[in-house]
């Protein structure tokens, strides 16, 4: 399953991507994460990207596509992937299409998450990100978990929540304007290719997940898969008992003992038969 999730800032792409990762066991590929990882590891592409960023320039699409190509070669991407944050414009969409066709991994679906812009402003102001693992939460729609499983997977401590500088009402209007100008045209681009699915992304996170699963034709994605360690077979003793019960059949009917009259009838019949003659000489 090879997917692109589209939607305005705050539409829930990050949250739904994380759920797809858990349910479909395919990686979420974020161009921002790829850039940070390449720079941190000092790869050739990372070095070129760092030079551009240090000079205040945008990272060329060719560099980003090169990082995506390298990431898709990893073993965990063989079953599919979720592209998050790319493409953002028509030029990137055309370049991505050529790349995926060239490596034999064309997209299966593109899902547009539609949310009213007034709701987006409310959501964005409540969005928080863990400074350690990068997981995205929303104080209004998907707050951090409490109790078991609430710890950050990287630090084993509670998530350190921060608000991105551009996650405030003062900058939302400009971000939505840029989205309408640059990214919204991708809806028609992918509709023309027969890949587009549009879903209502308002409501609870679970409701949106069910709609997303239905759009992708994978209803099983709507249910959280149990970890492999929790799926256990029936205890051996119980299996044996159950098998024994299945083998037990109803006892065969006992043979009827002939009554006194029947025995008397057989004796009299035997007495009336002629005795066997001796052998002829």
Catalytic residue positions?
13, 88, 127, 164, 175
Work out the number of other CB atoms within 10 angstroms of the CB of residue 75: 6
* Residue positions counted in the chain: 281
At 137 the three-state DSSP class reads strand
Q: Extract the tokens encoding 199.
A: 């879903």
Contacts of 139 (CB under 8 A, 6+ apart): 126, 127, 128
- HSE value, Cβ hemisphere, 13 Å, CA-based, for 114: 7
CA 35 vs CA 60, 76, 85, 206, 229: distances in Å = 11, 19, 12, 31, 34
In whole angstroms, what is the distance from residue 52 CA to residue 46 CA?
10
Closest CA to 214 of 201, 224, 203, 199: 199
Q: Extract the tokens encoding 186.
A: 């991708």
Q: Are 2 and 107 in contact (CB under 8 A)?
A: yes
Dihedral sign for Cα 136, 140, 142, 148, please. Answer: positive
Q: Which long-range contacts does 130-134 make (Cβ < 8 Å, 24+ apart)? A: 130/159, 130/160, 130/161, 130/162, 131/160, 131/161, 131/162, 132/159, 132/160, 133/159, 134/33
């Amino acid at each position: 399953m090879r997917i692109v999730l589209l939607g305005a800032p705050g539409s829930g792409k990050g949250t739904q991507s994380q759920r797809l990762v858990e349910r479909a066991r395919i990686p979420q590929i974020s161009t921002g994460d790829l850039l940070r990882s390449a720079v941190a590891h000092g790869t050739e592409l990372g070095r070129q990207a760092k030079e551009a960023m240090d000079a205040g320039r945008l990272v060329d699409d060719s560099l980003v596509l090169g990082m995506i190509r390298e990431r898709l070669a990893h073993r965990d991407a063989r079953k599919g992937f979720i592209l998050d944050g790319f493409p953002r414009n028509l030029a990137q969409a055309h370049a991505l299409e050529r790349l995926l066709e060239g490596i034999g991994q064309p997209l299966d679906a593109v899902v547009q998450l539609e949310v009213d812009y007034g709701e987006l402003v409310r959501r964005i102001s409540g969005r928080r990100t863990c400074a350690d693992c990068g997981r995205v939460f929303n104080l209004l729609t998907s707050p951090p978990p409490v109790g078991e499983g609430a710890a950050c997977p990287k630090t084993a401590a509670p998530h350190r929540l921060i608000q991105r500088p551009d996650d405030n009402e003062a900058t939302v209007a400009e971000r939505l304007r840029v989205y309408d100008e640059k990214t919204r045209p991708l809806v028609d681009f992918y509709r023309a290719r027969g890949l587009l699915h549009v879903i209502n992304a308002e409501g609870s996170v679970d409701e949106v997940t069910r709609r997303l699963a239905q759009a992708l034709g994978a209803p099983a994605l709507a249910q959280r898969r149990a970890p492999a360690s929790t799926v256990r077979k029936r205890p051996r003793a119980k299996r044996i008992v159950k098998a024994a019960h299945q083998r037990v059949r109803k006892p065969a009917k006992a043979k009827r003992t002939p009554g006194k009259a029947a025995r008397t009838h057989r004796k009299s019949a035997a007495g009336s038969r002629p005795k066997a003659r001796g052998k002829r000489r």
